[in-house]
Structure formats: structure tokens, C-alpha cells
Amino acid sequence: MESYFTKTGTNLNSYTVCYLLQDKENQELRISELVELLYLSTSATSRLVVKMEAETGLVVRETCEIDNRGLYVVLTQKGRDFLTDASAAVEKLIQKAL
């Protein structure tokens, strides 16, 4: 699995973010919600999201239209494709382990 992440320039945290976003309405979460779900610090979560946006394009950040202060992290089509491929790799790994 690690080789898959290396090949795609991602890591387990990237996969987890995409996985969490896929089930949410509009496939988006506020940064503060991701912090709670990932059990990472705010700064670590922000760095992860910035890297995911800039280097892999799996997510985009959008300003909250209601208060203009909060940021939403939104899953992109590339993120959905990554999640599909990564999930297949995870399933193969599990089958191999069994």
C-alpha cells in the first residue's frame, strides 16, 4: 500500500481526507471539522490540505459564503478517482492478508 501512495504522491492521511469527504453533503467539510476527525492539529491539517490541493489536486479550498472566514475543503473529481483507485488497492491488500 505504501508503494501505491509513493507512486501517487499521496499518503494515508490524504486517503483518509478523501474518504471522509466522500460521504459528506456536497463532499465538503470545514477545516475545523477535519481537525476533529483526523485527530491532527489545526496547523498539521492545514498543511495537509494545502499540499493536497497544490501537489495532487485531490481537494480544493473554498471560502465559506456565509461568514467569509471559514474554509471548506471540497473533494475534486481527481480526488474521487484517487479514492476509487486507492480503495481497490486497499481491498487487494486485505484479500492478500486473508
Mean pLDDT for the stretch of residues 38-65: 95
Number of domains composing the chain:
1
Would you place residue 9 in the very low, low, confident or very high pLDDT band (cuts 50, 70, 90)? confident
Give me the CATH number covering residue 29: 1.10.10.10
Which domain does 21 fall in, by range?
2-97
What's the confidence (pLDDT) of residue 64? 82
Q: For residues 64 and 78, what is the distance between their CA atoms, to the nearest angstrom?
A: 22
Q: Using an 8 Å Cβ cutoff, are 30 and 38 in contact?
A: no
**Chain mean pLDDT for the chain:** 90
Mean pLDDT for the stretch of residues 20-45: 94
Mean pLDDT for the stretch of residues 76-96: 88
Query: Pick from 31, 27, 79: which is nearest to 53 by CA?
Result: 79
> What is the pTM assigned to this prediction?
0.87
